[in-house]
Amino acid sequence: MSLMNTYGERTTTLVKGEGAYVWDADGKRYLDALSGIAVCGLGHCHPAVTEAVSQQAQTLVHVSNLYLVEPQVQLAERLVELSGMDCVFFSNSGAEANEAAIKIARKYGNDKGISAPHIITAESSFHGRTMATLTATGNDKVKAGFTPLVEGFSHVPFNDIAAIEAAATTNTVAVMVEPIQGEGGVHVPDADYLNNLRALCDNKGWLLILDEIQTGNGRTGSFFAYQQSAIKPDVVTTAKGLANGLPLGACLAQGAAATVLQPGNHGSTFGGNPIACAAGLATVNTIVEQNLCDQAAKLGDYFLKHFKEALGNNTHVTDIRGKGLMLGIELDKPCTELVATANQRQLLINVTAGNTLRLLPPLTLTEAQADDIIATVVDLINEFYA
């Protein structure tokens, strides 16, 4: 195998996708309840995205970001309109979008005379695998072997405002959290968490950075998860579902944070590529025009209701939680082998945090497909403990 072994053994070769299904090289069909880890929100090979990519590939594939390109400008305007933020920096990935957010926070501090800016993040968080985002991540397992890490980060328990206050120093410039933790095990905070976090940051003069790499683009029932609270962050990042499979990340800022980065402070050769932005614009417009945020909210409630009915009496199931189509079923012991077992049943799922079965199906999923996922997952868990 000529591929570097960073993902473990991979035995399934996927060659084709359509809607909620993918096919392997032997022609076997799988129901994809993972969507490329929350990437293909519209399902695989959505016609609107395919058409946008095809048209753009025949028009303009790449130019330097020293020049404006129409799809990038159009997508930025659409995201600003939907988010209420002021402006956007485009990158190739979620980690790069978070790097931009961290650089905004650090320069925000430096501009105020703080030479060693300090950012508070949450335990069990995940912000990426570049060195700064790896350091921001609250998971020691993914950091092992990569010291020395970047200075200037502290980690506190998620959903704990008092812990943030206790960890603050005179150099603190920002708090960076996910509205719902994904990789950490699909943890949904208290309903007033973001409101209290916003009030604390306003009181202290800190930036509030929300990592919506996974929760953005309709996944939790609104375009951004923070829109289900009464607040607006200073900086919000997103990526995964933004271009339905094309590599694209975005760092949006508003207020004082929007003017921190000036010419020469940051950049990207490929970020905001015309094809990726054309795909992003088609994806965002489809999410809005087809009311897929509402669809995600309704289907999420449907999943939770039926999982709780079917598994509520299983004493090995310690929690069933989620919001929209970001769902987790926590078991009382490690269960990573369920991924392979599900694969044998032609269902693609994920296990995160070692013991939490995670589902991130496309927003376009039908109720019949949801029923298939529910039936298979319930069988998998019951048989796991038989």
CA distance 304 to 269: 42
CA dihedral 137, 141, 146, 150 (to 10 degrees): 20
> What 3-state class would DSSP assign to 385?
coil
Looking at residues 357-382, what average pLDDT do you find? Answer: 98
DSSP of 224-270: SGGGGTT---SEEEE-GGGTBTB--EEEEE-GGGGGS--TTS---SS
pLDDT at 9 over 90: no
**26 labelled catalytic:** no
**384 labelled catalytic:** no
> What is the amino acid identity at position 252?
L
pLDDT tens for each residue of 112-122:
999 999 999 99
User: How many other CB atoms are there within 10 angstroms of residue 54's CB atom?
Assistant: 12
Annotated binding site for N(2)-acetyl-L-ornithine: 129, 268
**Catalytic residue (choose from 224, 240, 303, 323):** 240
CA distance 215 to 327: 11
What φ, ψ does residue 278 adopt, rounded to 5°?
A: -60, -40
Annotated binding site: 94-95, 126, 129, 211-214, 268-269
pLDDT tens for each residue of 172-228:
999 999 999 999 999 999 999 999 999 999 999 999 999 999 999 999 999 999 999
User: How many other CB atoms are there within 10 angstroms of residue 68's CB atom?
Assistant: 8
pLDDT at 1 over 90: no
pLDDT tens for each residue of 13-66:
999 999 999 999 999 999 999 999 999 999 999 999 999 999 999 999 999 999
pLDDT at 234 over 90: yes
Predicted confidence at residue 96, as pLDDT, reads 98
What φ, ψ does residue 250 adopt, rounded to 5°?
A: -145, 135
What φ, ψ does residue 377 adopt, rounded to 5°?
A: -65, -40
Handedness of CA 188, 192, 193, 194 (dihedral sign): positive
Q: Are strands 207-211 and 235-238 parallel, antiparallel or unpaired?
A: parallel
Looking at residues 325-337, what average pLDDT do you find? Answer: 97
Predicted confidence at residue 353, as pLDDT, reads 94
pLDDT tens for each residue of 253-312:
999 999 999 999 999 999 999 999 999 999 999 999 999 999 999 999 999 999 999 999
Is 343:12 a contact under the CB 8 Å cutoff? yes
CA distance 210 to 89: 15
**Catalytic residue (choose from 126, 153, 224, 307):** 126
Owner of token pair 């990789």: 183
Spell out the alpha helix ranges (H) of the chain: 35-38, 47-57, 70-83, 94-111, 131-136, 140-143, 161-167, 193-204, 274-289, 292-311, 337-344, 367-384
CA dihedral 343, 345, 350, 353 (to 10 degrees): -100
Nearest CA among 195, 187, 191, 190 for reference residue 215: 187
**211 labelled catalytic:** yes
pLDDT at 335 over 90: yes
**Catalytic residue (choose from 107, 158, 211, 223):** 211
Annotated binding site for pyridoxal 5'-phosphate: 94-95, 126, 211-214, 269
